[in-house]
């Protein structure tokens, strides 16, 4: 790990990663004693490694898998569900499984095809839906904290994108901890210091079976473009990616930077689902799925 | 110009550029009626194009050329002085010539070799010295505004560098206008909306003779690295560079971003030269040149 000026053998690496995550959790007050923890798991390296580490650190985390109904020949969703279930069974962990089609009547690809929001790519509908379900289930099932497997590459790419256009609203909300507020469960990202390569190395060395494929729809996503840019910077200057993200967090913690940038965004409960929204009346999730369900109904009638 | 979705013929380009600069000057209140304007000119495309445009816009700008004593076989400084003098004579403009060696006893390359600050590259000593001389002469000769030829590539590269490490002190001071304050003359950068290619095109089409070579010491500078990164982004998404810089300026003008980030930096007059400095006692310029002059004196004694 050039940017840490550190070279570790397998055993030391496998203990170093959890110890660093334990430190991140403490440094950023991610979890308080007695809080119930839910981990969003996709079957990929990051979320399974995170679930495992939180488990061995003693947080007794439950898992939440959301079935998206993405098939595309490779059986992406089926495989990722199987991998996740096997992992939970192996370690005796409790897994909650939610399925988008069962809950709302369409898979993500179908929903995207029926929604203006999904016209170019399903990613926007997918993200909106996952965030809604995660928050909904976490609150309904009485969890205090929702952990996600976002790694340094994910976080730095989002930061880079928001910085290229100086989206100060988004910048002010970005960080490894989003406190519980106005109907949002507290969200934490304990892997934010670890690059994709580092979490993959951990999962491999730990013998965690995970799904290697990326979702086929992710190709060409902006986030992947920004990751490439940051990887170029990292290749030229090892440590640049971590420095970029950590110095942002330090700047945020200091005086005079992004003060009150969030002010003015007041949240109300959605009239339909009750979850918090900055939109007046109905939230984006309910509006989007209303469109999808109406479109599906119309299609059904046409076909009958 | 893909990012402006604009294609202009020679005549229209030559009138479009000054009209845009006139608008920038008005939008950012760069010059007020009756203010005396000094332009820092190096003999390069940007500063000569800027001098010319300010002249045809009626600002009656004088020029300031600073001789750095950079030879390196190509006679860089001699050529740039000649080009600048010819330009001034052709248009009947008043040029002030200052020479670092005459003023302080060493050329920039010699000074850099004698100073710890210049050990790796002379650029740091050069920048420090030029900023000192520009401010000193502008104030002493009674100018209200100092204009420099920094273009979009320059400004965006500095912004990119400061953003990669979230230097909020620098970020809060960056912009096309730095108001006069505590012994600093007001500084403006009227070319900040124009890329290097656009100012070069203007100089060429306008028939301005300028020095093509870059300073040989600039090779490998960080600013050039950041320019390359931004050019990659620009190639993938035309307009990205301008959007990056302009959205930063918009964010700065909005509430809650970088408020008071400068607070805490109090400036005092340097005990030696009287110019403002954040250091206690003597400013970085005086300390650096004191070291250089002492080192030169010691060398002289050794040699005698």
Rounded to whole angstroms, how far apart are CA atoms B177 and B167? Answer: 19
Rounded to whole angstroms, how far apart are CA atoms A215 and A218? Answer: 6
B166 touches A at CB < 8 Å: yes
**pLDDT over 60 (residue B263):** no
Rounded to whole angstroms, how far apart are CA atoms B233 and B231? Answer: 5
- Percent of chain B predicted with pLDDT > 90: 70
Instruction: Please compute the mean of the pLDDT values over residues A189-197 and round it to a whole number.
Output: 96
Nearest to A50 by CA among A28, A41, A300, B16: A41
CA distances from residue A107 to A186, A218, B16, B47, B239 in whole angstroms, order as listed: 27, 16, 53, 60, 37
Q: Where are the alpha helices (DSSP H) in B42-107?
A: 45-56, 76-91, 100-104
What ipTM describes this predicted complex? 0.85
Instruction: Please compute the mean of the pLDDT values over residues A37-53 and round it to a whole number.
Output: 97
Instruction: Please compute the mean of the pLDDT values over residues A17-45 and round it to a whole number.
Output: 96
pLDDT digits (tens, 9 = 90+) for A68-79: 999 877 788 889
Rounded to whole angstroms, how far apart are CA atoms A277 and A183? Answer: 9
- Percent of chain B predicted with pLDDT > 70: 94
pLDDT at residue B2 in the model: 61
Nearest to B174 by CA among B241, B262, B243: B262
pLDDT at residue A5 in the model: 64
Instruction: Give the chain B residue whose CA is nearest to the CA of A263.
Output: B256
Rounded to whole angstroms, how far apart are CA atoms A128 and A272? Answer: 16
Taking contacts as CB-CB distances below 8 angstroms, the residues of chain B near A248 are 166
Residues A224/A196, Cβ–Cβ less than 8 Å: no
Instruction: Please compute the mean of the pLDDT values over residues B265-290 and round it to a whole number.
Output: 87
CA distances from residue B207 to A166, B147, B198, B204 in whole angstroms, order as listed: 38, 22, 14, 5
**Range with lowest mean pLDDT among B87-91, B177-181, B261-265:** B261-265
Q: What confidence category does residue A126 fall into, taking pLDDT thresholds of 50, 70 and 90?
A: very high
Query: CB-based contacts of B290: which residues, under 8 Å, 6+ apart?
Result: B272, B282
Instruction: Give the chain A residue whose CA is nearest to the CA of B255.
Output: A261
Question: Structure pTM?
Answer: 0.89
Instruction: Please compute the mean of the pLDDT values over residues A36-42 and round it to a whole number.
Output: 98
| Cross-chain Cβ contact B244/A172 below 8 Å | no
Written as six digits, the tokens of B187 are 């500084």
Q: What confidence category does residue B288 fall into, taking pLDDT thresholds of 50, 70 and 90?
A: very high
Any idea what DSSP says for residue A214? P
Residue B131 or B297, more confident:
B131
pLDDT digits (tens, 9 = 90+) for B219-257: 778 889 999 999 999 999 999 999 999 999 999 888 677
**pLDDT over 60 (residue B261):** no
Residues A125/A217, Cβ–Cβ less than 8 Å: no
pLDDT digits (tens, 9 = 90+) for A84-106: 999 999 999 999 999 999 999 99
Q: What confidence category does residue B4 fall into, taking pLDDT thresholds of 50, 70 and 90?
A: low
Best of B164, B228, B229, B233 to mutate (most A CBs within 10 Å, chain A)? B164
Beta strands B186-188 and B145-147, pairing class: parallel
Taking contacts as CB-CB distances below 8 angstroms, the residues of chain B near A240 are 164
**pLDDT over 60 (residue B107):** yes
Nearest to A289 by CA among A130, A60, A55: A130
pLDDT at residue A304 in the model: 44
**pLDDT over 70 (residue A303):** no
Rounded to whole angstroms, how far apart are CA atoms B114 and B295? Answer: 6
| Cross-chain Cβ contact A165/B244 below 8 Å | yes
Query: CB-based contacts of A68: which residues, under 8 Å, 6+ apart?
Result: A77, A100, A107, A108, A126, A130
pLDDT digits (tens, 9 = 90+) for B14-42: 999 999 999 999 999 999 999 999 999 99
Q: For residue A38, what are the β-bridge partners?
A: A62, A146
**Sign of the alpha-carbon dihedral angle for A263, A136, A140, A82:** negative
Query: CB-based contacts of B251: which residues, under 8 Å, 6+ apart?
Result: A166, A168, B257, B258
**pLDDT over 80 (residue B120):** no
| Cross-chain Cβ contact A247/B165 below 8 Å | yes
**pLDDT over 60 (residue A260):** no
pLDDT at residue B1 in the model: 64
Instruction: Give the chain A residue whose CA is nearest to the CA of B164.
Output: A244
Written as six digits, the tokens of B54 are 């300010």
| Cross-chain Cβ contact B263/A251 below 8 Å | no
**pLDDT over 70 (residue B259):** no
Instruction: Give the chain A residue whose CA is nearest to the CA of B258.
Output: A257
pLDDT at residue A120 in the model: 76
- Percent of chain A predicted with pLDDT > 90: 69
Q: What confidence category does residue A19 fall into, taking pLDDT thresholds of 50, 70 and 90?
A: very high
pLDDT at residue A211 in the model: 92
A253 touches B at CB < 8 Å: no
């Amino acid at each position: 790990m050039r940017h840490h000026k550190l070279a570790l053998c397998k055993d030391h690496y496998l203990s170093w990663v959890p110890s660093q995550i334990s430190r991140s959790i403490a440094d950023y007050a991610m979890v308080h004693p007695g809080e119930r923890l839910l981990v969003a798991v996709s079957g990929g390296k990051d979320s399974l490694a995170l679930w495992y580490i939180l488990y061995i650190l003693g947080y007794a985390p439950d898992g939440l898998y959301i079935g998206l109904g993405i098939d595309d020949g490779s059986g992406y969703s089926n495989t990722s569900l199987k991998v996740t279930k096997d992992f939970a069974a192996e370690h005796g962990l409790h897994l909650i499984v939610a399925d988008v089609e069962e809950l709302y009547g369409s898979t993500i690809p179908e929903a995207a095809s029926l929604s203006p929001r999904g016209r170019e790519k399903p990613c926007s509908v997918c993200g909106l839906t996952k965030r809604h379900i995660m928050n909904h289930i976490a609150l309904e099932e009485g969890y205090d904290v929702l952990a996600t497997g976002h790694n340094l590459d994910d976080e730095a790419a989002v930061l880079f994108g928001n910085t290229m256009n100086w989206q100060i609203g988004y910048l002010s909300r970005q960080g490894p901890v989003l406190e519980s507020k106005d109907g949002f469960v507290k969200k934490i990202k304990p892997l934010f210091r670890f690059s994709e390569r580092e979490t993959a190395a951990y999962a491999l060395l730990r013998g965690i079976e995970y799904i290697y494929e990326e979702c086929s729809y992710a190709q060409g996503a902006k986030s992947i473009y920004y990751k490439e840019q940051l990887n170029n910077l990292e290749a030229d200057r090892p440590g640049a990616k971590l420095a970029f993200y950590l110095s942002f967090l330090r700047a945020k913690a200091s005086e005079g930077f992004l003060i009150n940038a969030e002010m003015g965004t007041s949240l109300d409960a959605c009239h339909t689902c009750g979850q918090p929204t900055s939109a007046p009346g109905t939230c984006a999730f309910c509006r989007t799925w209303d469109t999808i369900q109406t479109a599906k109904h119309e299609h059904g009638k046409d076909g009958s």
